[in-house]
Chains A and B, each alone.
Chain A
């Protein structure tokens, strides 16, 4: 079945080759990182998690958002998602794959990764995160694979797959909740120490995931002329907007609590992110861009006319995607370390090797997603 994912025109082959080259470049720099240590990244004693963990956190959200297709289709029998659900599942598989690679890239001693299983520690959220992410990727892969197989053969979906689908629903919520708990349970990191962290993670996931999928499906349509039901696109865009509105609402709650209570620890990071602190403001342009793009995206897509114009819908999805990417990536993770536990501001600058490794991981993710999407399209066309 998988071989069908590699069949395409020259443009598609060049695309895959290009991704492979970016991945190879990433692997080259990863070898250098293995050789020289994480010192070749921009991370430091004060900012001990950087771009890798930012991407990881964002991508867990993208993966979790597949549930926004599974719930309407399987629980509410919304038949128009019939042909779309599998793309959400493939996106989840690709996203979790990238998550795993970003974690590996971030580890100081990756060859010891299995110590997590050798010395299972239920008290550590990271232990649970590894388990739920592994389970999630397995579930989505098995469900997607069997759905496609049954489409191909014209037989009914095997009975044992359905329960997996239903398990995937709370599981999706679980992966992002557990990922939020990585942050929300740490004393002394005030940006993260908030009970609304998991709800915020989910809200932004339900915006960024559908936004990503809308963009991908648009690219698929433009390049392969494979189209999904327009109603499905319209529903997906509504899910995205609701997600983003809730996300912005939750974020503003953080502002209220921090600034109305007037507690310095709670205010400082938000001050750093939006206005700068002690003369340091490297993230300010990014964070403001994120806020502005997110708000513009939501406002423009509130109009039905705009949503129904394909180009504008994709533009809106792009704005929301970029907005959530900045917010849940860099701003959240790096911002959490500023000011440091000693009250100092150390800033973070990504390095070229770090960026290359990250792009390499994205390329591997896109490669996987492309192949799975292509396989699905080719099989559906041959039926």
Chain B
């Protein structure tokens, strides 16, 4: 009996050795199953940027935020739905929140235009599927970034994003830019792009352009990991919802209703 046990133990060790050699159960497995997070320390970062959209303040018919963003980021307008590029735009509420009964849950109507943009998810499925790490989640602040020079244009991220936040440059982007902003790069054809939470300016303590341009004060940008931040206070004192919370992506964009 004893002998048998020992053999089993030996076998077990041998097997686990082989398994470790092959990389199963080791760091590789961690990498495969860690949803888009390539560094374990990341979840402890002090900063996780997020946004609160106050749907009660957002004015119907106003598109100041989208205009400001698209102008500053050289987002092309191809005048075609097929080749469309958008970083931030308005969408009927029923498209963003599909599982509500709009006849009864009447805080907002089905066709009310709601703002939408990249959710900069805590567990971004787009990051997980990218074969080149051309899209990744920044360790220090949770922003989901894009490297337009590394992207191979496979569009796996677009299939993986459950929010439709990503656009692909089917057409030559530079042809669709009415007024060029020399301070921000234009993109090349054949790469994916999306909202970057204005990572190019927020480091200087500025708010993203959409927040700056909103006259109604409907948009609040801030650190979700800081309990004293303005955004956390808003979320504490107001009822809020997230898009498709059941998917586990954990969006960082919240809607105050």
Contact residues of A with B, CB < 8 Å? Answer: 36-39, 41, 43-46, 48-49, 103, 106-110, 112-113, 115-116, 118-119, 121-127, 130, 182-183, 185-189, 264, 336-337, 340-344, 346
> Which of B88-96, B216-224, B226-234 lies on the face that meets chain A?
B88-96
A182 to B31, CA, bound (A): 17
Q: Which residue of B lies closest to A183 (CB)?
A: B159
Q: Is the interface of A mostly helix, strand, loop or mixed?
A: loop
- Interchain CB contact under 8 A, B95 and A39: no
- Interchain CB contact under 8 A, B82 and A109: no
Which residues in window 94-137 of B have CB below 8 A to A? 94-96, 98-99, 125, 128-134
Which residues in window 66-106 of B have CB below 8 A to A? 81-85, 91, 94-96, 98-99
- Interchain CB contact under 8 A, A38 and B170: yes
Q: State the Cβ distance, A320 to closest chain B Cβ, in Å.
A: 28
Q: State the Cβ distance, B223 to closest chain A Cβ, in Å.
A: 26
- Interchain CB contact under 8 A, A44 and B150: no
A381 to B91, CA, bound (A): 68
- Interchain CB contact under 8 A, A112 and B150: yes
- Interchain CB contact under 8 A, B164 and A341: yes
Q: Which residue of A lies closest to B78 (CB)?
A: A39
Q: A107-B190, A121-B132, A123-B36 are in contact. Are A38 and B168 (CB under 8 A)?
A: yes
A188 to B94, CA, bound (A): 16
A337: chain B residues at CB < 8 Å are 159
- Interchain CB contact under 8 A, B190 and A38: yes
Interface hub of A106, A122, A187, A343 (most chain B Cβ within 10 A): A187
Q: State the Cβ distance, A291 to closest chain B Cβ, in Å.
A: 25
A39: chain B residues at CB < 8 Å are 82-83, 170-171
Q: Which residue of A lies closest to B164 (CB)?
A: A341
Contact residues of B with A, CB < 8 Å? Answer: 28, 31-32, 34, 36, 38, 81-85, 91, 94-96, 98-99, 125, 128-134, 150-156, 158-164, 167-172, 188-192, 244, 247-249
Q: Select B191's contact among A109, A116, A123, A187, beta carbons within 8 Å.
A: A109
A269 to B54, CA, bound (A): 33
A186 to B36, CA, bound (A): 13
Q: Which residue of B lies closest to A344 (CB)?
A: B95
A340: chain B residues at CB < 8 Å are 164
Q: A108-B155, A342-B95, A343-B98 are in contact. Are A116 and B162 (CB under 8 A)?
A: no
- Interchain CB contact under 8 A, A115 and B134: yes
B32: chain A residues at CB < 8 Å are 122-123
A116: chain B residues at CB < 8 Å are 131-132, 152
Interface hub of B169, B188, B190 (most chain A Cβ within 10 A): B190
Q: Select A37's contact among B98, B154, B170, beta carbons within 8 Å.
A: B170
B95: chain A residues at CB < 8 Å are 342-344
A109 to B170, CA, bound (A): 11
Q: A108-B155, A186-B159 are in contact. Are A121 and B247 (CB under 8 A)?
A: no
Q: A37-B190, A119-B133 are in contact. Are A46 and B170 (CB under 8 A)?
A: no
> 9 A-B residue contacts at CB 8 Å?
A45-B85, A48-B155, A48-B168, A112-B132, A115-B132, A121-B130, A121-B133, A123-B129, A124-B131
Q: Select B162's contact among A38, A43, A183, A187, beta carbons within 8 Å.
A: A187
**Nearest 5 interchain pairs by C-beta:** A108-B153, A188-B162, A108-B190, A39-B170, A126-B131
B192: chain A residues at CB < 8 Å are 108
A279 to B192, CA, bound (A): 30
Q: State the Cβ distance, B182 to closest chain A Cβ, in Å.
A: 24
Q: A43-B170, A343-B94 are in contact. Are A109 and B152 (CB under 8 A)?
A: yes
A127: chain B residues at CB < 8 Å are 131
A37: chain B residues at CB < 8 Å are 169-172, 189-190
Q: Which residue of A lies closest to B244 (CB)?
A: A188
